[in-house]
A = this chain, B = another copy of it.
Amino acid sequence: MSYGMQLLDTYPRTFNVDTGVLAAAIDALNDCAQACTSDADDDLSEQNVPEMVKCIRLCLDCADVCHAMVQVISRQTEYDANVTRPLLEACTATCKSCADECEQHARMYAHCRVTAQACRRGEQACRDLLVAMR
C-alpha cells in the first residue's frame, strides 16, 4: 500500500471524497510527474532532439502541473473547491496534451510510449476525481 493511501487512512478528520479515488489520483499524478521529467530528459538524449522539442516542452509543463496537483490534493484540511476543481480541469487538459504528443513518438521511442501511458493514467485519475468530488 502506498504512503498516499496510508496517510489518507490516518488523516485526523473526515473528508467528503472516496478515499480510494483520491489515493489513486495522488499516486497516478505523482508517477506521471516523475515520468514526464524523465521523458523530457530522454528526449534531450535522442539524436534527433530538434524533432522532440514540442514533446520536451509539454513534458516539462506536465511535470510541473501534475506536481502542483499532487500537492493540492494531498491537502485535505480546509478543502476549497474553488482551488481544486479548476486545477483538476487544467491538469486533465495538460495530461491529455502531453499524452497526445508522446503517442506521436511511441512507435519510435519506448520512453515516450511509457510516458504516454503515465499521462493517460493521470488524465483518467483527474476525471475520476472530478466525478467523485461532485
Residues of A within 8 A of B (CB): 2-4, 6-13, 26, 30-35, 37-42, 44-46, 49-50, 53-54, 56-58, 60-61, 63-65, 67-68, 70-72, 74-78, 80, 82-83, 86-87, 89-90, 93-94, 96-97, 109-111, 114-115, 118
Contact = CB atoms under 8 A, between A and B. Distances in A.
Interface of A is mostly: helix
A30 B22 CA distance: 17
Say how many copies of this protein the assembly contains: 4
B111 A41 contact: no
Contacts of A13: 45
Nearest to A11: B42
Contacts of A87: 65, 87, 90, 94
B12 A42 contact: yes
A10 B115 CA distance: 11
